[in-house]
Amino acid sequence: MQTISENACFGGVRGVYSHASKATGGEMTFGLFLPEEARHVPVPVLWYLSGLTCTHENAMTKAGAQAWAADYGIALVFPDTSPRGEGVANDDAYDLGQGAGFYVNATQDPWKPHFRMWDYVAEELPALLGEQFAVDLDRQAISGHSMGGHGALTLAMSLPGRFASVSAFAPIANPTASDWGRKQFAAYLGADETTWRAHDSSLLMAEKGFDGPVLIDQGTEDQFLDLLKPETLAEAMVQRRQDGAFRMQKGYDHSYFFISTFMEEHVAFHAEALLG
């Protein structure tokens, strides 16, 4: 692992690091905020998964989460959204290929050699964090935006007991029925749509739900509402009587202005689950 940069931040350290990834077969970069408490004891971890076209950097610089995480003594992890670099498959469209990993393990060429973001986020990066930093992997929570909200929800519901809580900002809620999902799943996972179901948060909510609290925020003026399909997830939560809240925020769109407005509440939500 190599240190790209480190800066003092709200009494702790904001760092950017790179490492050779076996999961993706190349170099991966991630961001990490460690609060002051990490100098003395391992601290709980809140994952933040970003959306289409983003890198590890977007949320680190735009979401404002570090200030709130510092208040509670919680680490923040910002993975990249896909493998990158020479020799990694790509597409001219912004919503497929580099920057659009969709948090799945690709089974189809030309994607399968590198696009294994599920294994990277679920297994490899947590193990690396546990080896290199003062983090408590017995206390984890997860959040994300858009494609990252989809990833956060599907990981949380598919890994029982891993995360104490899950939240999402404007998640891609029903990708098997949306052009933000069907296109990518066909490319990464193939034509058999039964393999797609494990990566649809609305279907997972209906089938198994989450063994902890859920918080979803969705802007009413989101320009991508037809692609996100938030109503399917809301209906599934109600039908399952899921412990949680689905909030439609009047006037907000899909941007980081929306995310930064409600980030304090999301960090507080996870802090309650992680710290009691």
For the beta carbon of residue 71, count every other beta carbon within 10 angstroms: 15
Strands 2-9, 12-21: pairing is antiparallel
Catalytic residue among 146, 165, 201, 202: 146
Tokens of 190: 């193939």
254 an active-site residue?
yes
pLDDT one-digit tens code per residue, 89-139: 999 999 999 999 999 999 999 999 999 999 999 999 999 999 999 999 999
The active-site residue out of 56, 114, 254, 266 is 254
Per the CB < 8 A criterion, the answer to whether 163 and 44 are in contact is no
Is 146 labeled as catalytic in the residue annotation?
Answer: yes
**144-165, pLDDT tens digit by residue?**
999 999 999 999 999 999 999 9
Question: What does DSSP assign to residue 128?
Answer: H
Three-state DSSP at 186 gives: helix
Token readout for 163 is 């995360």
Selected catalytic residue, list 80, 222, 266, 270: 222
Considering the chain, what is the average pLDDT of its residues? 98
The CA-atom distances, in angstroms, between 252 and each of 108, 169, 240 are: 37, 11, 27
Find the mean pLDDT for residues 195-217.
98
pLDDT given at position 276:
86
Q: Residue 253 pLDDT more than 90? A: yes
243 is catalytic: no
pLDDT beyond 90 at 2: yes
pLDDT of 13 strictly over 90? yes
Share of the chain above pLDDT 70, in %: 100
DSSP conformation class of 145: B
Tell whether the model's pLDDT for residue 266 goes beyond 90: yes
> Which DSSP helix (H) or strand (E) runs through 151?
helix 147-158
The candidate with the shortest Cα–Cα distance to 53, out of 77, 23, 74, 82, is: 82
Respond yes or no on whether the N-terminal peptide bond of residue 35 is cis (omega within 30° of 0).
Answer: no
Mean pLDDT score, 183-195: 98
